[in-house]
Chains A and B, each alone.
Chain A
């Protein structure tokens, strides 16, 4: 009987355009769209910034050696046209007005300082709110500085290697998988939780409040099916919808990585492939399932209580923030899964998934996280059952 109800409710839900949009279409498309736009926009900005031919305002001698050196730099570092300024204040103003893009102040006594082998302060002026300006100034400075340094060392007769007795070598012992898990691992559980919640929302409202509003619940309750069977049948559809939405988001992310050429580094791509094993997906879904059941269990009493679709929506939508906000904990570095965090709902799923990606998830914490969520899911189902059993709740 539960299957009969599940089948009917699933057909009904799949024919609802609004649910289909939130359950399948949006989760499927959101990542390909967001990632394509963000990658293309940021790379086009970076490209534009590096290719931009800029005007370099110079307070100092335009025929001096530094400007000569800058004129000879490869085009790949960005083209530049020097322009002389008599006054450093006007130079600053020109940058503020956007008339020129970079400014360089060369001390008037530069030749003396150089002769006396004293450090020469070269001041670069730029508008930091413009992308790539500081980087351009730094790359120009490096060219000038490297030249000056090698001339100075030559004059002093010093070998560059002898100048630096210690050469620091920093080696990261964390595996690439762990690094990806820690740096980007927060996003995956966040996606799952956010879309798992949204995926549950519309079916929950439609299958309970909607039935009340349309008057179909009354007819359903006159059939020889017990209320718990009706509840379980409907709940299974809500859980399926939540899991489908989360899975679609994962598929969307996978498609983006695999076919939209977003990850350029082949090494990282190989690590991502290594992470996405059937065992990993299975473990992740085992964490997600009780969470989605919990979401459904929280939404059903609200949907049963609400008298209209709008009322249900106005209660459940703010709840979205309460539920999904803890999922953002995954973005913060340093918060790890331990006996305490494993006992905090939602947070435990985020941290466990993060560690699952890193390959550092301990079975004990996994069991605690799963256990906590299973207890909560059971409790929420019980509350749903109690609410669905109340006459005053189910009939408008």
Chain B
């Protein structure tokens, strides 16, 4: 479970950034007082246009960034006070695979298992399960730099799940991927949900959200514009389709 309360994030602007943004403000507000809850066994979607604050929010949830104010609870742990403890419960996956090109899949998986302090027995069991599930046996000894995008994505999924996290955070996981590769991610999100994990993912594609999520929040310019269940969203929408309704809410 994820609990977010009155989350706020400000960034200091350098002179160069002030010039680029044509502003005299010394700070930029990326996330402004947002609160929401993601339940275990459900998929929560953070929907918003580019620059809305989705990535900043997810980076705060995964403890890469420290909030300016507000609270985050990850699987019962105060993630602001005890970020290292919270990280043990989190699996984090982005669209850019974030893999080391000169290492092999097996080396990367072993490395991350060691970083998450997974015991050798658990690591071997998880590896066996994930390699079989993702059909990775054929390219385990090849260097990442020589793999296709689809293969890299599978390694990335395996890396994210090696410590069997309770909470899985996906930051635009299908962005830049072809349909077949994106299907692996969609399957993974469904599997996580079936296993009772808490899943949050960000996207700007309404069809993807419609396909997967139970609850959603629409974020724009750092503030929440809508939050509720997907079924409520469908029931109360004023536009003719989901995408138009999303645009209508954002422009409101």
- With both beta carbons as reference points, the residue of chain A lying nearest to B87 in the complex is identified as A224
A16 with B102: in contact, given A222-B62, A224-B84 (CB under 8 Å)?
yes
Report chain B residues within 8 Å CB of A15.
102-103, 143
Report chain B residues within 8 Å CB of A1.
114-115
- In Å, the complex CA distance between A395 and B59 comes to 10
Interface: A322 (CB within 8 A): no
Contact between B115 and A4, CB atoms less than 8 A apart? yes
Q: Digit string of B1-36 for contact with A (CB within 8 Å is 1, else 0)?
A: 000000000011010000000000000000000000
A219 with B98: in contact, given A11-B103, A392-B12 (CB under 8 Å)?
yes
Give the interface SS of chain B, mostly helix, strand, loop or mixed. loop
- In Å, the complex CA distance between A5 and B100 comes to 13
- With both beta carbons as reference points, the residue of chain B lying nearest to A5 in the complex is identified as B115
Q: Which of A71-79, A210-218, A329-337 contacts B (4 or more CB under 8 A)?
A: A210-218
Interface: A12 (CB within 8 A): yes
**Contact among A16, A222, A392 with B63 in the assembled complex (CB-CB below 8 Å):** A222
Contact between A224 and B94, CB atoms less than 8 A apart? no
Contact between A218 and B87, CB atoms less than 8 A apart? no
Q: Digit string of B63-92 for contact with A (CB within 8 Å is 1, else 0)?
A: 111100000000000000000110110101
- In Å, the complex CA distance between A395 and B140 comes to 29
Interface: B96 (CB within 8 A): yes
Q: Digit string of B97-115 for contact with A (CB within 8 Å is 1, else 0)?
A: 1111111000100011011
- In Å, the complex CA distance between A5 and B65 comes to 21
Interface: B141 (CB within 8 A): no
Contact between A8 and B103, CB atoms less than 8 A apart? yes
Contact between B111 and A215, CB atoms less than 8 A apart? no
Contact between B115 and A218, CB atoms less than 8 A apart? no
Interface: A225 (CB within 8 A): yes
Interface: A123 (CB within 8 A): no
Report chain B residues within 8 Å CB of A5.
115
Report chain B residues within 8 Å CB of A215.
94, 96-98
Contact between A4 and B62, CB atoms less than 8 A apart? no
**Contact among A216, A221, A395 with B99 in the assembled complex (CB-CB below 8 Å):** A216
Q: What's the nearest-Cβ distance from chain B to residue A226, in Å?
A: 6
Contact between A224 and B103, CB atoms less than 8 A apart? no
- Interface range on chain A (Cβ under 8 Å from partner): 20 to 34
Contact between A12 and B62, CB atoms less than 8 A apart? no
A-B contact pairs, 9 of them (CB 8 A): A12-B100, A12-B103, A15-B102, A16-B102, A218-B98, A221-B63, A222-B90, A224-B116, A392-B14
Q: What's the nearest-Cβ distance from chain B to residue A304, in Å?
A: 15
Q: What's the nearest-Cβ distance from chain B to residue A142, in Å?
A: 66
Which residues from chain A sit less than 8 Å from chain B, CB to CB?
A: 1, 4-5, 8, 11-12, 15-16, 214-216, 218-226, 391-392, 395
A4 with B111: in contact, given A216-B100, A221-B64 (CB under 8 Å)?
yes
Within 8 A of A (CB), among B134-151: 143
Interface: B54 (CB within 8 A): no
- With both beta carbons as reference points, the residue of chain B lying nearest to A1 in the complex is identified as B115
Contact between A225 and B100, CB atoms less than 8 A apart? no
Contact between B90 and A219, CB atoms less than 8 A apart? no
Contact between B98 and A216, CB atoms less than 8 A apart? yes
- With both beta carbons as reference points, the residue of chain B lying nearest to A17 in the complex is identified as B102
A224 with B64: in contact, given A4-B115, A214-B101, A215-B96 (CB under 8 Å)?
no
Interface centre among A12, A218, A220 (most CB of B within 10 A): A218
Interface: B159 (CB within 8 A): yes
- With both beta carbons as reference points, the residue of chain A lying nearest to B103 in the complex is identified as A12
Contact between B64 and A4, CB atoms less than 8 A apart? no
Interface: B117 (CB within 8 A): yes
**Contact among A11, A12, A222 with B87 in the assembled complex (CB-CB below 8 Å):** A222
Contact between A226 and B62, CB atoms less than 8 A apart? no
- In Å, the complex CA distance between A225 and B115 comes to 7
Report chain A residues within 8 Å CB of B87.
222-224
Report chain A residues within 8 Å CB of B107.
8, 11
Report chain A residues within 8 Å CB of B90.
222
- With both beta carbons as reference points, the residue of chain B lying nearest to A222 in the complex is identified as B92
Q: What's the nearest-Cβ distance from chain A to residue B69, in Å?
A: 15
- With both beta carbons as reference points, the residue of chain B lying nearest to A206 in the complex is identified as B102
Report chain B residues within 8 Å CB of A395.
59, 64-65
Q: What's the nearest-Cβ distance from chain A to residue B102, in Å?
A: 4
Interface centre among B12, B101, B112, B115 (most CB of A within 10 A): B115
Contact between B116 and A218, CB atoms less than 8 A apart? no
- In Å, the complex CA distance between A215 and B152 comes to 14
Report chain A residues within 8 Å CB of B100.
8, 12, 214, 216
- In Å, the complex CA distance between A11 and B96 comes to 23
- With both beta carbons as reference points, the residue of chain B lying nearest to A230 in the complex is identified as B115
Report chain B residues within 8 Å CB of A216.
98-100
- With both beta carbons as reference points, the residue of chain A lying nearest to B91 in the complex is identified as A222
**Contact among B65, B96, B97, B117 with A224 in the assembled complex (CB-CB below 8 Å):** B117
> Which 8 pairs of residues, A with B, have the shortest CB-CB distance?
A222-B92, A219-B98, A223-B115, A15-B102, A224-B87, A215-B96, A4-B114, A215-B98
